[in-house]
Each structure stands twice: as structure tokens, then as C-alpha cells.
Amino acid sequence: MITNDDLKAAIAECEGAKNPNASTCIKLAAFYTILNQRQPSPPAEEYSYANEPMYLPSYYSESEFGQLVNEKGMDNCMAVIDELMETLYVINPRLYNGVIRKIKEL
């Protein structure tokens, strides 16, 4: 029977390999999988039964942008806004820095 200590020793050996190859990585993945499957599940009391997140950011504006953000949700829109800011940094660094300054002042 393989013990957790045996698995941890095998993991340490694989992680310490000077020239790991595909075989080493496969073994390491298998050892971690076995070790993780052997760990006891947390008691049910540790799970959260909340239906909704504790904090829901809200934004309201009557502009087209504001209405779309309300409809789609701020979390979903942040990837688009982040991409816009990266483009703005390249096209107009002065405007980008102004936006960043305003956000920092919030």
C-alpha cells in the first residue's frame, strides 16, 4: 500500500529532477492526482450556501454605455474596458494617464 509519505517523496524526486522530460511530468501529474484524491473532503459546514456574491458592484447611467453595463454586468464588461485602455495607452498616452489618475483619486 502506498502511503501519502511515499507519494510526497516521489513528488519531491520528480520536482527535483535536473532535466525533466515528458515522462517525469506525467509521473508528477499522476502522483499529485493520487495524493489529491486521497485527501479527505472538507466537512459540509465549510461550504458556502450563499446564492449570491456578498458584494455586487452596481453602476447606473442613462447613457448608452451605462445601460449596456447594467444589462451585461460590470464583471463581463471589464475585459472589454481593459482592452480599450490598452489601446488608449498606445494611441493617446496622455488621455490614458488622465483616466488612470482619475481612477487613483477615487
* pLDDT tens digits along 15-74: 888 888 888 888 888 888 887 777 666 565 555 565 555 555 565 678 888 888 888 888
Cα angle for residues 65, 71, 76 (degrees, 5° grid)? 85
Confidence tier at 101 by pLDDT (50, 70, 90): very high
Is 46 part of a structural domain of the chain? Answer: no
Alpha helices in 1-106 (DSSP H): 4-15, 22-38, 64-72, 74-91, 93-105
Q: What is the pLDDT of residue 105?
A: 92
Q: Is residue 61 part of a domain?
A: no
**Is the confidence at residue 14, as pLDDT, over 80?**
yes
32 within some domain: yes
Q: What is the CA radius of gyration of the chain?
A: 25
Structural contact between residues 49 and 15, judged by C-beta atoms closer than 8 angstroms? no
Is 90 within the bounds of a domain?
A: yes
Answer whether residue 50 is part of any domain.
no
Q: What global pTM score does this model have? A: 0.42
Higher-confidence position of 42 and 12:
12
What range does the domain containing 96 cover?
Answer: 73-105
Residue 59 lies in a domain: no
Q: Output the pLDDT for position 26.
A: 85
Number of domain units in the chain: 2
